[in-house]
């Protein structure tokens, strides 16, 4: 097992990464406050893993119950969140009750938000079971739900007590979901570590095949990168926005297509190709760098041609992005592989990028 630390003063917490961890009582014990814990999971993950987590918490002498949510991005909204509150109140959960998020990013974001709100804040633990949630969403304390008009628009910063990332859970993950997680892995290399990016390029075949040793390395390096950014800028006053590379376009795709039609990682993969194209158009990166990124996204079995929502709709959706200020859309661009920055862009360049990506995509999409 490897343990990293997210350094946030008295709210610092460990990220445990390894095999055979998700139901290890010794990892849960230090972080379960009070006399009871409530596991929040969904109808896919619950039957696979909840009984073992319940048994582990029970062995600590704590009362434990499980709330099972419907599965999918389309359920990341108020009504589902309310089901968590209903269950907590019915169970007599108090201020020391610890919530345990058992699942992917959707369960993690909603459980974290429920923990931020219930009685104005209770502790929670992240047990991420998708690649995406292990490399990204379980770390950093962004929690929330979607609104029909915009992605993750209602939420709170609320850090977990601990993250327990068990690589074994990836064995049951469908290939499409594994690919979606690779988008955020590629993102971490692209924005922060050119050597990591090159390592992903070299090992993409084995990563696609979910080789356990390589997966553990990818989870570790991605969590190091994310933890380092979060420690410097927890509430996204500057640097943290670089973690949004590909998300200005990506969130527009998710909301515009209807949540769940494109997976978050798929939308981010395509969004990174669009952001790289914009970076090239503005002269920050060369054609080879843009092509390397697009080729890697494609090699990770992710889409590189954007859906045609229409230019006006893309712009309308992107204006709802949380980075936008006074209606002005901000993008994360690449200065080179391993270095990203936040900026506004001229309308004409955005127009040309959307035309290229959506309206008239090249026959060999952006990989040549
Ligand atoms: N908070 C953050 O910093 C952050 C970062 C990135 C993404 N996100 C959010 O995370 C969400 C995407 O997360 P995701 O990709 O994990 O999607 P997800 O939570 O929908 O999980 C993907 C699918 O895999 C299933 N699943 C989960 N674990 C499994 C396992 N071990 N075996 C079999 N099936 C399993 C789920 O039931 C679901 O059907 C989006 O809502 C996105 O906005 C948040
Ligand atoms: O942690 C962050 O900061 C990120 O931007 C990570 C993203 O991968 C993630 O999708 C996040 O939820 C997006 O944040 P948002 O503030 O744009 O909703
Ligand atoms: Zn993301």
**pLDDT band for position 33 (cuts 50, 70, 90):** confident
Q: Enumerate residues 6+ apart whose C-beta is below 8 A from 29.
A: 60
Does the structure show a pLDDT above 80 at 365? no
pLDDT in tens, 216-234: 999 999 999 999 999 999 9
Average pLDDT over residues 10-36: 97
Q: Output the pLDDT for position 358.
A: 78
ipTM value > 0.90: yes
What digits encode the pLDDT tens for the residues 268-297? 999 999 999 999 999 999 999 999 999 999
144 pLDDT above the threshold of 70: yes
pTM: 0.97
Active site residues: 120, 142, 184, 226, 236, 240, 244, 247, 251, 264
Residues touching ligand 2 (Cβ under 6 Å) are: 136, 140, 142, 152, 184, 236, 240, 243-244, 247, 322
CA–centroid distance, residue 25 to ligand 2 (Å): 30
Confidence of residue 12 (pLDDT cuts 50, 70, 90): very high
Neighbours of 91 (CB within 10 A): 15
Site of tokens 């971490």: 188
Tokens 């993750």 map to which residue? 152
Residue 359 has pLDDT above 60, yes or no: no
Average pLDDT over residues 103-113: 98
Given this model, what pLDDT does residue 63 score?
98
CATH of segment(s) 2-172: 3.40.50.1970
On whether the 180-357 domain is CATH 1.10.530.10, my answer is no
Q: Say yes or no to pLDDT of 85 above 70.
A: yes
Domain ranges of the chain: 2-172, 180-357
The full 3-state SS of the chain, as one line of letters, equals CEEEEECCHHHCEEEEEECCCCCCHHHHHHHCCCCEEEEEEECCHHHHHHHHHHHHHHCCCCEEEEEEECCCHHHCCHHHHHHHHHHHHHCCCCCCCEEEEEECHHHHHHHHHHHHHHHHCCCEEEEECCHHHHHHHCCCCEEEEEECCEEEEEEEECCCCEEEEEHHHHHHCCHHHHHHHHHHHHHHHHHHCHHHHHHHHHHHHHHHCCCHHHHHHHHHHHHHHHHHHHHHCCCCCCHHHHHHCCHHHHHHHHHHHCCCCCCHHHHHHHHHHHHHHHHHHCCCCCHHHHHHHHHHHHHCCCCCCCCCCCHHHHHHHHCCCCCCECCECCEEEEEECCEEEEECCCHHHHHHHHHHHHHCCCCCCCCC
Mean pLDDT in residue range 13-37: 97
Average pLDDT of 343-365? 83
For ligand 1, atom 6: residue with the closest CA: 137
Contacts for 206 with CB less than 8 Å, ≥ 6 apart: 214
pLDDT of 27 above 90: yes
How far does the centroid of ligand 3 lie from the alpha carbon of residue 12, in Å?
22
Mean pLDDT, range 313-319, rounded to an integer: 96
* CA separation for the pair 149, 170 (Å, rounded): 32
The pair of three-digit structure tokens given for residue 255, joined into one six-digit string: 């909301």
Ligand 2 atom 2: residue of nearest CA: 243
pLDDT at residue 360 tops 80: no
- Asked if residue 368 has pLDDT above 50, the reply is no
Say if 2-172 and 180-357 have the same CATH topology. Answer: no
Testing ligand 1's pocket by substitution, the residue of 177, 185, 259, 262 carrying the most ligand atoms inside 8 A of its CB is 177
pLDDT at 364: 56
pLDDT band at 248; cut points 50, 70, 90: very high
Of 236, 247, 255, 259, the one to substitute when testing ligand 2's pocket (max ligand atoms within 8 A of C-beta) is 247
- 236 pLDDT higher than 90: yes
Between helix 194-208 and helix 287-299 the angle, nearest 10°, is 30
């Amino acid at each position: 097992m490897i343990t990293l630390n997210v350094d946030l003063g008295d709210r610092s917490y460990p990220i445990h990464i390894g095999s055979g961890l998700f139901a290890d009582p010794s990892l849960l014990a230090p972080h379960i406050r009070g006399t009871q814990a409530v596991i929040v999971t969904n109808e896919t993950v619950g039957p696979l893993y909840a009984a073992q987590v319940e048994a582990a918490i029970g062995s600590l002498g704590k009362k434990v119950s499980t709330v099972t949510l419907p599965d999918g991005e389309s359920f990341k909204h108020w009504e589902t969140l309310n089901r968590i509150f209903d269950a907590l109140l019915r169970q007599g959960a108090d201020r020391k009750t610890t919530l345990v998020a058992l699942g992917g990013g959707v369960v993690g974001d909603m459980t974290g938000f429920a923990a931020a709100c219930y009685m104005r804040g209770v502790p929670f633990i992240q047990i991420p079971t998708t690649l995406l949630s292990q490399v990204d969403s379980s770390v950093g304390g962004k929690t929330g739900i979607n609104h029909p008009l915009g992605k993750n628009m209602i939420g709170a910063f609320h850090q977990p007590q601990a993250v327990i990332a068990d690589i074994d859970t990836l064995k049951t993950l469908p290939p499409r979901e594994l690919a979606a997680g690779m988008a955020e892995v590629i993102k971490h290399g692209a924005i922060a570590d050119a050597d990591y990016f090159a390592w992903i390029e070299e090992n993409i075949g084995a990563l696609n095949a979910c080789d356990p040793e390589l997966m553990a390395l990818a989870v570790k390096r991605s969590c190091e990168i994310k933890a380092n950014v979060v420690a410097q800028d927890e509430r996204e006053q500057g640097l943290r926005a670089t973690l949004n590379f590909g998300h200005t376009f990506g969130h527009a795709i998710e909301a515009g297509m209807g949540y769940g039609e494109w997976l978050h990682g798929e939308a981010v993969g395509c969004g990174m190709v669009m952001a790289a194209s914009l970076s090239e158009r503005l002269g920050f990166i060369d054609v080879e760098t843009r092509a390397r990124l697009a080729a890697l996204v494609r090699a990770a079995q992710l889409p590189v041609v954007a859906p045609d929502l229409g230019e006006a709709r893309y712009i309308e959706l992107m204006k709802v992005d949380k980075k936008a200020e006074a209606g002005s859309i901000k993008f994360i661009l690449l200065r080179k592989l391993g270095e990203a920055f936040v900026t506004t862009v001229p309308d004409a360049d955005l127009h040309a990028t959307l035309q290229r990506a959506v309206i008239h995509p090249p026959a060999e999409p952006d990989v040549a």
